[in-house]
Amino acid sequence: MIYHKTKETLKEQPKTWLVTGVAGFIGSNLAEALLKLEQKVVSLDNFATGHRYNLEHIKNAVTPEQWDNFTFEEGDITDLDFCRHITKNVDIVLHQAALGSVPRSIDNPIASNASNATGFLNILTAAKDNGVKRFVYASSSSVYGDSKELPKVESRTGNLLSPYAVTKMLDELYGGVFEKTYGMETIGLRYFNVFGKRQDPNGAYAAVMPKWIAQMLKGEDVYINGDGETSRDFTYIDNVVQMNILAGTTTNEKAFGEAFNTAAGGRETLNNLFHAIANGLKSQLPELEIKDPIYRDFRPGDIRHSNANIDKAKEILGYEPTHTLEEGLKESIVWYINDLELRIENG
C-alpha cells in the first residue's frame, strides 16, 4: 500500500508542515498524525470554531519528544501579514482553516467569504511568496451543487446551492490558476461528510453524526431534516488524514492543480444512519433509551444525495480507504462515550 510506504519514508525524511485550523476537528487529527510520523508541525487557529482543548488532545496523544516538534500561533488567515509570517520556512501547507457549514454561509455570507475566500487567497499568496511549493487545501462536496449524477465525478459539477459552495469552488479556481501561473503544486480535496473523534457535537451548525450521538447519549430528541432518505458519503477521519498526507507527498505531477474526491465511496441515508448509531450505542450501553427521530422541513441549500467516485484519487494519489462507515462509526461511538464520561468527571 502506497500510504504505508509514504509514512515510512516520512519518518526517515521529516519535513515541516503548516496545518491551518489546527484546533478544529480535521486539523487536530492531521497534526496528531504528522507528529506521530516524527514531522515538524507549525500551526495556527483563531478559535472561531476550533477549541483549545483539542491542542491538549494532541499533546496527550503523542510523546513528549514528538510534542517538542509542535509549534502553535494564534492568528487569523484574514490577516495577510500574519499569513506571511506563519508560512516562512514551511515545506508543505495543509490548509484546513475555514468557516464551515452550508447553513452558516446562508445566514452570514460575508463572514464565510472573508474566511473561505479572502483568507484562502491570503494564505495561498503568502505561501507562494515564501517559496512554499506544495499547498494542499480543503475543498468540499458542496461544489457539486444540484448535479444529480451519482457517483460524483470530479470533472462534472452542477449549479451551486449556497455561499459556502461558492467559496469552495473559488478556492479550486485559485488553486488551479496558481499552479498554472506560479508553478505551485496545489491540490484540492473535496471532503464528503467527514466524521470521527474530536468533531464538535455542539452548536447550531454541528455536523449530523456527532450531534446525533451526543443527543442519543443524553436522551434528547433527534431531528431529521426532510424525509430521512437524503443520503451522504460519510467519510471517517482516518481516510481524510491519509488523503492529506498522500497529497502532501505525491510526486505525480498529474495531481497538481487538480481537485480530488475525499470519501469512502459509499452512500447511506439519514434514516439508516440513525438506526446504525442507535444500534452502535446500545451495543456499548444496553441500558440506553433512545427516542424515535422527529422529522422536520428540508434544510435550504442541502444537496439531496451525495456519493463520491474515488477512482481519480486511487489512480493518481494511490488512495485506498482504510475505514468503511461501519468501522469508523464503531470507533467514533467509543470515543464519544469516553469523552462524555471525562466531561462528566471534570464537571
Cell of 9: 519514508
C-alpha cell at 134: 506544495
Cell 448509531 locates to: 277
User: What angle, 0 to 180 degrees and rounded to 10, lies between the N-to-C axes of helices 208-218 and 270-284?
Assistant: 40
The grid cell for 105 is: 454561509
Please, which residues bridge with residue 138 across strands?
189
325 to 180, 195, 209, 322, 347: CA distances (angstroms): 37, 9, 11, 10, 32
205 is catalytic: no
Other residues' Cβ atoms within 10 Å of the Cβ of residue 155: 7
Main-chain dihedrals φ then ψ at residue 225, nearest 5 degrees: -80, 125
Give the DSSP letter of residue 265: S
Nearest Cα to Cα of residue 222 among 235, 233, 213: 213
Q: Which residues contact 65 (CB under 8 A, 6 or more apart)?
A: none
List Cβ neighbours of 236 (8 Å cut-off, separation of 6 or more). Answer: 194, 195, 196, 264, 323, 324, 325, 327, 328, 329, 331, 332
Judge contact between 34 and 41, C-beta under 8 A.
Answer: yes
Q: 344: burial class by Cβ within 10 Å (0-12, 13-18, 19+)?
A: exposed
Q: How far apart are the first and last CA of the chain?
A: 44
The region that residue 279 occupies, defined by phi over 0 for left and psi between -120 and 50 for alpha, beta otherwise, is alpha
Q: State the catalytic residue, choosing from 137, 164, 191, 236.
A: 164
Which amino acids are annotated catalytic? 164
